[in-house]
Structure 1
Amino acid sequence: MKRMSPFEEIRPYYDTEVNQAIREIIDHPMLKAMMNFTFPDHEDKYWKDLMLHCHSIRDFQINFIYPGVNKVLEKSSAGLTTSGFEKLDKGTSYLFISNHRDIILDTSLLNACLYEHGLFMTTSAIGDNLVKKPFLKTLSRLTRNFIIKRGLPARELLESSRLISQFIRHSLLRENRSVWIAQREGRTKDGNDMTHKGVLKMISMASDNGEHFLDYFKRLNVVPVSMSYEYDPTDMLKMPELLAKANQEVYVKGENEDFSTLLSGIIGQKRRIHIHVGEPLNDKIDLIKENTAGVVKQFQAFTDLIDDQIILGYKLWPTKYIAHDMLTGTEQYKSEYSPEEKSLFEARFKKGVDQKNPLAVKSFLAMYANPVSNQKRLLEEV
């Protein structure tokens, strides 16, 4: 009798399951729309024949997702630049802890860059709120996502966290497979990229008995990732939640909000994009262990370390400086942008934000400006 994996409910497909999963969605209209976008010069028969001969996740990613990502970049961006990938080792798996700005693109772009640099692509965390539709769940499992369940009661949350931590450990230490996880649950809406301690505590649940949590994170090869979009394609969609938070109100998502945001992130204009991967944190982790007393303070220092690396690795596009100057009513960063870049940003801002609502104005500008303030604060501390 075949043994069931303990990760059955959350894992991606095994390669042996890929072809059957493809056959189940091959005629789905959403797959057709995706492939017609990816291969606009070909008949459906072209990609269907290719896909029906696909027998591994890697094949699916390289032959269908990778060209799709390149088409998204071509249609909705002014190009992607990278830094730091050359410092990673091609035979090593890494735990990429990343700021999170876009539901699908963050991981898709990172994996495209890893592939281009000859590095292991990741298995990536995705919330179950994004894969409620059967087609999206199948597609996420075909792109090596593992599922994190949201909104669980306390006891179930503990069990779920333990299972996810074991899956992350298994991927990194047994399969030598890199893992991507966001530094917090959900995307950053206000531009403040801060790591939730709960994410790190969850990951550390799989450490060995008696093992210091910092020694365990050293084994996982933690690498911070900074995703920087010149324009956030979902900036306007984030406004209702930001305003509710500013008014101290509970925000309730609309029925199809996650799906709408997902689509907007893919097709919305982003202009320039930069991905920076930091160096593995092992040397800095040693310094925390040597210089910081007590587990609570060490945990805070480790969290701060990840935050600092993500903030410092973030590329400050002209839009960030423009928003900062508009928010502060100064011309402090005037040298960082052109009049054309400013007028383009102002046009977007005036079109999408109610100018008579001071809270809306402030929330939108702060979303873009906060990375400037955060990086400036860190550089002044050095």
Structure 2
Amino acid sequence: MFQALLQFTFPDKSAEEIKSVIDECYSIFDFQSKVIYKSVHKVMEKSTDGFSTSGFDELERDKPYFYLSNHRDIILDTSFINVALYDHELIMTASAIGDNLVQKSFLMALAKLNRSFLVERSLSPREMLLSSKKLSEYLKFLLSENQSIWMAQREGRTKDGSDKTQQGVLKMVAMARGEQSALQYLKSLNIRPVAISYEFDPTDILKVPELIAKSEDTAYIKSNNEDFNSILRGALGTKKRIHIAAGKLSEETFDEIEGLDLSENDKLQELARRIDKEIYRIYKLWPSNYVAYDLYYNTDRFAHTYTDRDKRSFERRFERRVDPNSAIARESFLLMYANPVINKLKSIEQTA
């Protein structure tokens, strides 16, 4: 698997030339910049129509940040963010990854070589508490060592396209606060909301069965190698354009929430809502999102935002992937793309 990755990354190099590149890697940064950076660019070259960013030029080069982002793809979300950081000469991230995703030794090695750290799943309540405390202390340690962090706003990928920050994630991060209040501690972490936006999600159809199970209130059991297949489909599947935006979360936001007459849990919930609002604000909406919205609501409200070609392209993807006899599957697929529009509209209405 590792040789396949290297051959994919350096298709014009001989085995000896590839070995010489690896021999020059003395640190994780070397490996990320000399190998993985090029691997991700190969993925972009083969499966995207362009990669753009915004907001990163407003960040300070030598300052560690806590990037809290929406989550679409198991591996590529963090990979694309680190490309953006490297291009802007910013500190790349140590990234959270569920231990269920690195069952294969190749993926575990690759995770370590990219400075990933494990979030343990499937623990008893007592074990989960101890693990969460340890993880919170580690996050604090990383930032003290001038290391940026990436973490998803919720456990696992967002399957339905509706990005919501889990209060429990913020509560876990704040466990290392000591004598400080949760809000004041979180304020010190330089949290930056990040919005990752794919024009086409290469794993969209793989997410539909879980959405159907959820809508029917039944347990969803992953098949063998499901996560690994999602990784491969995510890497090589068509994405069209990708945009990653870095947002802001002012210190005044934390002070304002701290001053509210609310319980600590409710304050964390309010902070989660503010993070969501910023992600909706900076989220790049593509023609696919607007087409899905209009198809779902049977309207032409956003027809001015896409061309006939855009609409046909999305409709072809929709019809090829979704069973025409399954109303739930069709609705789930459309909402996966329409929800970013719905959330942005709701956020604008609430602000007004």
TM-score range, shorter chain: over 0.9
Q: CA-to-partner distance for each residue in 1:146-167, whole Å, 9 max, x for gaps?
A: 0111111111111111111011
- Contact 1:32-1:44 within 8 A present in 2 as well: no
Give the secondary structure class of the aligned counterpart of 2:159: coil
Give the secondary structure class of the aligned counterpart of 1:350: helix
Residue 7 of structure 2, aligned match among 36, 55, 76: 36
Q: CA deviation at 1:292?
A: 4.9
Q: Which residue of 2 aligns with 1:375?
A: 344
Q: Distance in 2 between matches of 1:189 and 1:312?
A: 20
Residue 305 in structure 1 maps to residue 313 in structure 2: no
Residue 260 of structure 1, aligned match among 229, 233, 243: 229
Amino acid paired to 2:147: R
Q: Distance in 2 between matches of 1:279 and 1:212?
A: 21
Q: Distance in 2 between matches of 1:95 and 1:71?
A: 27
Residue 185 in structure 1 maps to residue 170 in structure 2: no
Q: CA-to-partner distance for each residue in 1:114-151, whole Å, 9 max, x for gaps?
A: 01101100000001111111121111101100011111
Residue 316 in structure 1 maps to residue 266 in structure 2: no
Give the secondary structure class of the aligned counterpart of 1:310: helix
Structure-to-structure mapping, 1:207-226, within 5 angstroms: 207-208=177-178, 210-226=179-195
> TM-score, normalized by length of structure 2?
0.98
> TM-score, normalized by length of structure 1?
0.90
Give the secondary structure class of the aligned counterpart of 2:271: helix
Q: Distance in 1 between matches of 2:252 and 2:84?
A: 25
Q: Which residue of 1 aligns with 2:54?
A: 83
Q: Which residue of 2 aligns with 1:296?
A: 265
Q: Distance in 2 between matches of 1:123 and 1:288?
A: 28
Q: CA deviation at 1:379?
A: 0.6
Q: CA deviation at 1:289?
A: 2.0
Q: CA deviation at 1:296?
A: 3.2
Q: Structure 1: which 4+ aligned runs deviate by more than 4 Å?
A: none
Structure-to-structure mapping, 1:1-382, within 5 angstroms: 30-173=1-144, 175-208=145-178, 210-382=179-351
Amino acid paired to 1:113: A
Give the secondary structure class of the aligned counterpart of 1:40: coil
- Contact 2:48-2:242 within 8 A present in 1 as well: yes
Gaps of 5+ in 1: 1-29
Q: Distance in 1 between matches of 2:153 and 2:337?
A: 19
Q: CA deviation at 1:283?
A: 2.6
Q: CA deviation at 1:107?
A: 0.2
Q: CA-to-partner distance for each residue in 1:11-41, whole Å, 9 max, x for gaps?
A: xxxxxxxxxxxxxxxxxxx111111111111
Gaps of 5+ in 2: none
Q: Distance in 1 between matches of 2:304 and 2:2?
A: 46
Aligned length: 351
Q: CA deviation at 1:295?
A: 2.2
Cα distance change, pair 297–154 in 1 and its aligned pair in 2 (3 A): closer
Q: CA deviation at 1:281?
A: 3.4
Quote the sequence identity (%).
Answer: 47
Amino acid paired to 1:359: I
- Contact 1:122-1:178 within 8 A present in 2 as well: yes
Give the secondary structure class of the aligned counterpart of 1:227: strand
- Contact 2:153-2:166 within 8 A present in 1 as well: yes
Amino acid paired to 2:289: K
